[in-house]
Every structure is written in C-alpha cells, then in structure tokens.
C-alpha cells in the first residue's frame, strides 16, 4: 500500500493578505495604545473584538449599570464599524458580569434590543469578581462581510 503524506496548511500563513491587522474605533486609539492592546484584530474574514466596557470618552466607567451596558454595546458597535462589520455579523459573544444574579435581567433586556431576531449569536456569560472598576464587559468574534 503506498504511503500518503498529509500536509496541513495554515491559510493565515499561506496567504499574505490574511495577516492580522489592528482595528481601532474613531477617537479611541490613545486609550488602547496606553493600555498596549488592540480594540480588535482582523484576521482573514474574521474580526476578534477585545472586551468592550461602558467607558466614557475619558476611559472612566459609566456609573449607572444599565447605561454602562448600553455604552459597552455602543463601544462594541463602533469597534465593529471600524472593522467593516455590524452587529448582525457577530457569531460569538462572551460577556463578563461582576454580579450576574442581580445584573442579568438588565443585560438580557439590552441584549434583546441589540439582537431582536433569530438566529442569535452564540453567547457565553461568565461571572467574575473584578473588571477594573466596570461591572460588564463584552467581547465578540464577527465575520467580515464581503
């Protein structure tokens, strides 16, 4: 029986057009530069968005929880837009909550406004005890249309 050699190909290494590229929403790059991370990384036709929080333009937390969640989604939407995506392009969501039991109702209300129709993206919610002064964070993976 002849031997067959299987060659595994990493499309990101084989295709120079698929290098990872940093993406920043308008007016917020200084925040990410000072914290030494990217708002999002585009690789191939995927956009990997870092955790977005309900931060005001100066980086401070929005104190009202519902307003903080809404601002986190607004910051997410701005980052998606900078990467050529929209909310409908999200395929996977991970959220972090400092007090899930008491916060989940508010989060679900906002979530149902942001994602009103099926199919809904995958969603994983994680309870945490610290978010650098914030109470909610959302990170996503989106497919770039085209």
pTM assigned to the model: 0.84
CATH number of the domain within which 113 lies: 3.30.1330.40
Q: Is residue 5 part of a domain?
A: no
pLDDT tens digits for range 28-41: 666 666 777 889 99
Q: Is the model's pLDDT at 12 over the cut of 50?
A: no
Q: What is the mean pLDDT of the chain?
A: 87
Query: With DSSP H G I counted as helix, E B as strand and the rest as coil, what are the percentages for the chain, rounded to 5?
Result: 35, 25, 40
Domain containing 126: what range? 20-143
Domain count, the chain: 1
Q: Average pLDDT, stretch 65-73?
A: 98
Q: Is 15 domain-assigned? A: no
In a domain, 11, yes or no: no
Q: Read off the tokens for 58.
A: 């100066």
């Amino acid at each position: 029986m002849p031997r067959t050699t299987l060659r595994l190909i990493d499309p990101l290494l084989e295709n120079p057009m698929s290098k990872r590229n940093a993406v920043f929403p308008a007016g917020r790059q200084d925040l990410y530069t000072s914290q030494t991370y990217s708002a999002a990384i585009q690789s191939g036709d995927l956009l990997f968005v870092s955790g977005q929080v309900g931060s005001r333009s100066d980086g401070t937390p929005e104190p009202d929880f519902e307003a903080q969640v809404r601002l986190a989604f607004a910051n997410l939407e701005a980052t998606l837009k900078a990467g050529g995506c929209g909310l409908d392009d999200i395929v996977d969501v991970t959220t972090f909550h400092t007090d899930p039991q008491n916060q989940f109702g508010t989060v679900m209300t906002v979530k149902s406004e942001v994602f009103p129709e099926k199919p809904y993206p995958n969603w994983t919610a994680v309870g945490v005890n610290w978010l650098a002064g914030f109470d909610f964070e959302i990170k996503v993976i989106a497919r770039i249309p085209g």
